[in-house]
Amino acid sequence: MMQEAVPSLTDVRFHGRGGQGVVTASKILAEAAILEKKWVHAFPTFGPERSGAPVAAFTRISPTKFTVKTEVYNPKIIVVIDPTLLSKPETYEGLVEGGILVLNSATEPKKEDYPPQAGEIWWVNGNEIANKHIGRTIANTVMLGALVKATGLVSLDSILKALGSYFKGDIYDKNVAAIKEAYEEVKKVE
């Protein structure tokens, strides 16, 4: 399905599994955009509502007010939080021509394994970074660091400020360290 084209909109679709913080990542990105005085809309979509089921969440960002309230069918950016979804073609459905992929992968992806319309593919070993800093392989916040570096959609500072609405104390500090490492380590596939 095609959605109405609005030039100023940037649609981001996150993919992961239930329990991995996919919706939280979408909301943190939205809050970071609000801090930068942008207009946003963030929302999830679910299949079977159980831990481990595929989940998608969306963040729509614009420098100007917009009225589009549809699901994101044609994202400019796709963030894959769960590496088990990297090989599923439905993960990339609707990606616009020249779109950006930000992937959680232990190894460098090969361009030919991804949709030809992808203009850029970025990757980072999000699970390794999450395990190192947070002690669990839940890479939702880690992938926000990679997303910010790959796209410049919002600033790293705004992501870290927005993160404070969701985490406090030691867990906040651990997530900050993970986000910053992902920001430094994410690489573009050439």
pLDDT score of 2: 44
For the chain, strand residue ranges (E) read 10-17, 39-46, 54-62, 77-80, 99-104, 118-124, 187-188
Per-residue model confidence (pLDDT) at position 136: 94
Q: What is the pLDDT of residue 53?
A: 79
Segments forming the whole domain that contains residue 84:
10-188
Mean pLDDT on 1-17: 74
65-104 residue pLDDT tens: 888 877 888 999 999 999 999 999 999 999 999 999 999 9
Mean pLDDT on 2-21: 79
Dist. CA 159–CA 151, nearest whole Å: 13
* Residue 51 confidence (pLDDT): 66
pLDDT at 50: 61
- Is residue 157 in a domain? yes
Q: Is 85 contained in some domain?
A: yes
Count the domains in the chain: 1
For 110-163, what is each residue's pLDDT tens digit? 999 999 999 999 999 999 999 999 999 999 999 999 999 999 999 999 999 999
pLDDT score of 92: 96
Rg of the chain in Å (alpha carbons): 15
Q: Is 83 inside any structural domain?
A: yes
pLDDT: which is higher, 42 or 125 = 125
Residue 38 lies in a domain: yes
This prediction has a pTM of 0.92
Tokens of 177: 């360290």
In a domain, 2, yes or no: no
Check residues 49 and 3 and name the one with the higher pLDDT. Answer: 49
Is residue 5's pLDDT more than 70?
no
Is residue 74 in some structural domain? Answer: yes
pLDDT over threshold 50, residue 1: no
Q: Do the domain assignments include residue 3?
A: no
Task: Look at residue 173 and tell me if it is in a domain.
Answer: yes
* pLDDT, mean over the chain: 92
CATH of the domain at 19: 3.40.920.10
Q: What is the rounded distance in angstroms from the CA atom of residue 151 to the CA atom of residue 148?
A: 5
